[in-house]
Amino acid sequence: MARPCTPSLAAALLCLVIISGERFLPQCAGCTRDDRRALLDIQSFLSEHLPSNYWDSSIRDCCQWRDVTCDSRTGRVTGLDLDAFPYPPASPLNTSLFLPLEELQSLSLKNVGINGCMPGAGFEIWSKLTKLKVLDLSGNMLNDSIITSLVALSTIRSLFLNYTALSSAVTIQQLSTMKLETLDLSDNAINGTISTGICNMEILQELHLNDNMLFGELPSCIGNLTSLRVLDLSNNLLRVKLPSPSFAKFTSLVKLSLSNNHLEGVLFLSSLSNNRQLTHLELASSGNDFQLQTENPATDMSAQLQVLVLRNCNLNGNSAVIPRFLLHQHSLDLIDMSNNNLGGYFPSWLIENNVNLSYLILRGNSFSGPLFPPPKVHINLQWLDASCNKLSKLTMEINVSLPNLQYLNLSDNSFQGVFPSSFNNMVSRVGVDLSSNNFLDDIGAAFKMIGIANLILSRNNFYGSLPQELPPHFSHLVLNDNKITGKIPESICFNIFLTVLDFSNNNLIGSLPTCIYALPLLVILNLKGNSLVGSIPSEICHLNRLIFLDVSRNNLSGPIPCLPNVQYLHLSENQFNGTFPLSLGTDIYTIDLQGNQFSGILPRLMFKAFPKLQIMLLERNMFEGMIPNDICHLKCLRLLDLSHNKLSGKLPSCLSNIGSDDESFNFQYSDRNITSIFLMFPVSSYQDLLAQYTKFISQPDQEEFMTKSRKDYYKGNMLNYMSGLDFSSNQLKGSIPESIGDMKWLRALNFSANYFDGSIPQSLSNLSDLESLDLSHNNLAGQIPSELAALRSLEVFSVAYNNLSGPTPGIKGQFITFDQSSYEGNPYLCGPPLLSCSEAPSVPELEENKEDDKVDDIILFGCSAMFYMVGFWTSMGVLYFKTSWRWSWFSVVDRFSDCVMAKLAIYTRKIRGAN
C-alpha cells in the first residue's frame, strides 16, 4: 500500500514549483526569463539600428512587446519581426544572440542595417534553431558571400533576400539545393542567366526574381516546378518565348508576372483559361515582337482576376478592340492596358463593372471624344490615367462621380478652351496632371481645386498672373511653358512642404522672393526662360535639400551665393559676373554658366573640388589664362565647353585623363532627396505605379551643346550617349596632343579658331564614336592622316583655313559625304572633292629657305647701311676738326682729278681722230 503524501513533502514540492516553475512548467501567459533576456541583449546590440526604447523593459511580459510573437501555451518566442527602415547605420550582426530563442519559427531582420556577420558567428550558427522556417533578411547590405552560410540552414522553407545587394547568378544555383517553398531574390543586381539548378526545387511555391538584370532564355525544365503558385520575373532582360510548354504545367498559378521583359511570339489568352486560381496576370513587353490575342478564339477566363496588366502587348494585332472577356470580370482592383492602340470612346464600363477597382491605366491609346463618367458613383477608384490619348471633352463632375480619386492624369490629350468647371472644388490628396493640352484660360481658374498637393499644368496656354494668395498645401507645382505674367507671389513661401517648383518658360517678371529660405523641403527649382531681374538671394544657401537649380535665360546678375548641396546648376544666358563660383558642393554633376560675364582665370582648386562633375559648360564668358593641368582630375567629365573665352597657352598633356571613369557616368537622379519625394505619396501595391510618380518631377537635366555645326538640346538618357570637348574661339596654341586619341568616349571635338600648329594627330582615328570633328581656322600643316577614313560615325568634318597639303581622304568611308567647304582655305590640298593632285599647285620647294634668304638680305643691307653712315660721318668729322688733314685730303683729290681729266681728254682726241 502506497504511503500518503506527508505535509512536509507537499510543502517541499510547492516550494520547488514556486522557485523553478518558470523553467520547468508550461505557462499560460508571459514569456520565459531566458527569452526575455535574449530579446534585451538583441535590443542592446541593435541600439543604433532600432528606434530608441524599441522594447519597453518596464513591461515584464515580452510577449506584449511590439513585433514579438509567442506560443500561447508555452510562452516561448516563436516570431520576431524587426524593421528599422529608413537608412539605419550598417554593421555586422552577432547571430549568436538569437540562439536562446530555441522555439523561434519566423525571424525578420528587414532593413535593420546589417552588412554581414561578426567573425565566428555567421548565419550557419542558426542551424541550431531547429524550428526556424521563415527568414527575412531583406533590405540589408549583404552580398553573395553570405549565401554559403545560409545554405546550411536546412529547416528554412521561406527565404527573403530582396534588396540585399546580391549580384551573381551563381547565387540562384547555390540556393537551389535548399528545400524552399518561397524564395525572394527581387530588387537586387543579379546579372546572368537563370541556372537550370532551380528546376530541382520541386516543392517551390513562390519564386520572386523580379527587378534584377537576368538575361537569356528561361530554362525549359522550369516546367518541373508544378507546385508554383507565384512566378514573378518582371523587370529583367529575359527573352521569353510564348506560348511556352512550361507555363501550361503551372495549373496552380495565382500570380504570373512577366512584365518588362522581351516577350516574343503570339500568345492566345484562352490557353490560360484553365488556371482557375489565377488572380494576378501581368504581361508587358519591352519590345515589339509580342502579340496577345484575346478574340480569336474568344477568351473565356474562368478565374476572376484582381490585377490585369496587358501593357504594350499589340493586343489583337493593334486592332483597337478592347478584350471582351473583361465584360465578365468583376473583381479587378487594377487594370493597365497602356500602349495598345485601343480606340473608340473611353470605356467607363470598366469602372462600372468593377466596384473594387482602384487603379485604371489606359495611357498611350487612341480613345477619343468625351471622357464619360460612370453611371453610378464609384467610391474606390483612386488612380485614373488616360494620358496620351485623343480625348477632347470632360463631361463629368470629378468630385461627384469619383469622390475618392487621388491621382488624375489627362495629359497629352486634345482638351481645349477654358479650364473645366467640373474640376472646381475637386479634392485630391495626390495630384492632377493636365499638361500638354490646349487649355486657354486665366491661370487663376486652376486654383479653385481644393487640397491638390501636386498640380501639373505645363505646356498649355494659361495666361494672367498667379494669385497673390496661393494655397499653402502644394508639394509639386509645375506650370512651365505657358504664358503666365506678373511676379512670383510671396505667398509661395507658405508652402512649407513644397519639393518641386517649376515656372519655367513663362513671362514672369520681378525678382526671386527672398523668403525662399522658408521652403526647407525644396528639391527642384526651375525658373528658366522668364524675365526675372536682380540677383539670386543669399537666403537660398539655407535650402539644404535643393539639388536642382535652373534660372537660365533671365536677366539676373551679381555674384553666385553658396549652394552647398546643388547637384545640377544652370545659370546660362544671364548677366552674372565675378570669378568662377567655388562655393558649391562636392557632389555637383552639372555646371552650366554659358553666356554670362564671368572672368578671371580658371582656378586650379575647382577641378579637385568637384570629383563627380560630368558636365561643365563655360561658353561665352571672359575667362583667361592657361588651362591648368588640374583639369585632368575630372575623370567623370563627358561634356566640356570652354569655347568663346580668352584662354591661352598650350593644352595640358594629360588631357586624355578627362572622362576616363566610365563606371561613374550615368545621368540619373540618384540622390536620396529625390527618393524622399516618392516616399511622401501613398505606397501602392502595384510596383509599376512608382514609375508614374516621375511625372511629378519636372524636366530632367537638359544641356545645350554645339555639335555637328549646330546647337542641340540633350536631356534624360540621351545625355548618357552625348559627349564632347569644345575649346573653339580661344587663343590656344601649340600642337594637338597625340594622347587625345585615348579619349574613345568622344562624339564631338571642336578645336577651331585657335592658333594650333603642327600636324593633325593620327591617333584621332581611334575615336570610333566620333561624329563631329572641327579643326578649322588654325595653323595646322602637313597632310590629313589617311587613317581618319576609319571614322565610320563621322557626320561633320572641317579642316578649313589651315596650311595643310597633300591628298584628302578622298572618297573613303564617310569622307565621300564632305564637300569643298570642309577643306577650303588650304590651297595645297588636292583630291576629291577638290582638284586632282595632278592639276593642283604643288607646294613650292625650299619655301622655308627662301624666307630665310630674305631675312638674311635684310640683315646684310641694314648692317652695310649702318657701317657706311658711321664711316662717312666719322671721316667728315675728322676733316672738319683737323685742318692739316683736310688740306692733304683736298690736294690728293685735286691731283687724282687732274690725272683723270688729262687721261679723259687724250682718250677723247684718239676717238675723234679715228673717226
Q: What is the pLDDT of residues 30-55, one digit of tens each?
A: 889 999 999 999 999 988 888 877 89
For residue 737, what pLDDT is reported?
A: 93
Bridge partners of 280?
A: 255, 307
Name the band, by pLDDT with cuts 50, 70 and 90, for residue 676. very low
- What DSSP line would sit under 620-639, residue for residue? SSEEEEE--GGGGG-TT--E
SS (H, E, C) 231-286: EECCCCEEEEEECCHHHHCCCCCCEEECCCEEEEEEEEHHHHCCCCCCCEEEEEEC
Largest CA distance in the chain: 197
CA atoms in the 13 A half-sphere facing the CB of 159 = 24
For residue 680, what pLDDT is reported?
A: 33
CA 265 – CA 886 distance, rounded (Å): 121
Place of cell 538583441: 42
Weakest-pLDDT range from 261-265, 461-465, 671-675, 700-704:
671-675
Average pLDDT, rounded, for the chain: 85
For residue 720, what pLDDT is reported?
A: 52
30-165 and 652-830 in the same fold: yes
Place of cell 529575359: 238
Neighbours of 755 (CB within 10 A): 13
For residue 774, what pLDDT is reported?
A: 94
Cα distances from 648 to residues 417, 615, 616, 643, 645, in angstroms, run: 57, 22, 19, 12, 9
For residue 852, what pLDDT is reported?
A: 55
740-744, Cβ contacts within 8 angstroms, sequence gap of 24 or more: 740/655, 740/656, 740/764, 741/656, 741/765, 741/766, 741/767, 742/656, 742/766, 743/655, 743/656, 743/658, 743/659, 743/767, 744/768, 744/769
* Closest C-alpha among 337, 323, 265, 335 to residue 295: 323
Instruction: List, for residues 476-489, the tens digit of each pLDDT value.
Output: 999 999 999 999 99
Helix (H, G, I), strand (E, B) or coil at 676: helix
Whether the predicted pLDDT of 62 surpasses 50: yes
Bridge partners of 310?
A: 283
Are 129 and 97 in contact by the 8 Å Cβ rule? The answer is no
The CATH class that applies to domain 652-830 reads: alpha beta
Q: What is the DSSP letter of 317?
A: G
Whether the predicted pLDDT of 118 surpasses 60: yes
For residue 1, what pLDDT is reported?
A: 41
For residue 878, what pLDDT is reported?
A: 63
CA 262 – CA 215 distance, rounded (Å): 10
The whole-model pTM stands at 0.79
- Every domain of the chain and the residues it spans: 30-165, 652-830
Q: Over pLDDT 90: what percentage of the chain?
A: 59
- What DSSP line would sit under 769-827, residue for residue? T--EEE--SS--EEPPPGGGGG-TT--EEE--SSEEEEE--TTSGGGGG--GGGTTT-T
CA 240 – CA 854 distance, rounded (Å): 79
Name the band, by pLDDT with cuts 50, 70 and 90, for residue 866. confident
For residue 424, what pLDDT is reported?
A: 74
CATH topology of domain 30-165: 3.80.10
> Can you read off the three cell numbers belonging to residue 426?
475637386
CB within 8 A of 207, min separation 6: which ones?
Answer: 183, 198, 225, 228, 230, 231, 232
Instruction: List, for residues 155-168, the tens digit of each pLDDT value.
Output: 999 999 999 999 99
CA 507 – CA 510 distance, rounded (Å): 10
Are 480 and 458 in contact by the 8 Å Cβ rule? The answer is yes
CA 496 – CA 364 distance, rounded (Å): 35
